[in-house]
A = this chain, B = another copy of it.
Amino acid sequence: MFKTALIVGAGSGLSASLTRLFAKENMQVALAARSPDRLAEFTKSTGAKIFKCDVGRHDEVETLFKNVETAIGAPDVVIYNPSYRVRGPLIDLDPVEVEKTIAITAFGGFLVAQAAVRRMLPKGQGAVIFTGASASVKGYALSAPFAMGKFALRGLAQSMARELQPQGVHVAHVVVDGGIRSSRRAEPPDRPDSLLDPDAIAENYLHLLRQPRNAWSWEIEVRPWVEKF
């Protein structure tokens, strides 16, 4: 089993769940976030190391991996969670915001994956998991930028799987299809379990990491039982 993990995009509930789950599995965990300050408390309880990184910038991603290597060693596992979105009618979208959506949601995924894979290939093993969304496989009205970013990330993950799996690196894409429960968002009493639980999503990542190389999944989707699709 893997020993070190880097989780990029540490602001979400999913990242917190992954950190706790990986720590319980005795993995060393590093977290990268754009604004890591508010995570101090969290890292204390889990032992995770925390790093600041703007994933859309090549130099920051390089620095991140060097610092992670020093702190916990080259990561066996890298999870890419960041996304950003701007919504609205196509004609009203600010091109700068669209560019930012693609940069964080997809291009940052490439930068992180490249740095990760460079450290995995010499060992002939490792795993990179990308977090997708409903928008990864369905381009919704009034949400063109997010569709662009999430479709692109899926294309990256699929190309990487074809290239890198025969070299020992497992590449997976998780389609998270539904809203996620959080401190700010709970399901109504008459719709129990209608939001995804981040801990439950995280179990799927752990399952992917446990797969032997003769039965790897490239894509897996998760959604609440009552979710329309």
Contacts and interface: CB of A to CB of B under 8 A. Distances in A.
Given A214-B195, A225-B216, A141 B162 contact: yes
Interface in A86-129: 89-91, 93, 95, 98-99, 102, 106-107, 110-111, 113-114, 117-118, 121
Nearest to A56: B99
A219 B177 CA distance: 12
A113 B114 CA distance: 31
A214 to B, nearest CB: 4
A25 interface: no
Interface stretch (A28-36, A42-50, A71-79, A165-173): A165-173
A158 interface: yes
* Copies of this protein, total: 4
Interface string A134-167: 0100111111110111111111111111111110
Given A89-B163, A164-B90, A224 B220 contact: no
Nearest to A213: B225
A145 B113 CA distance: 12
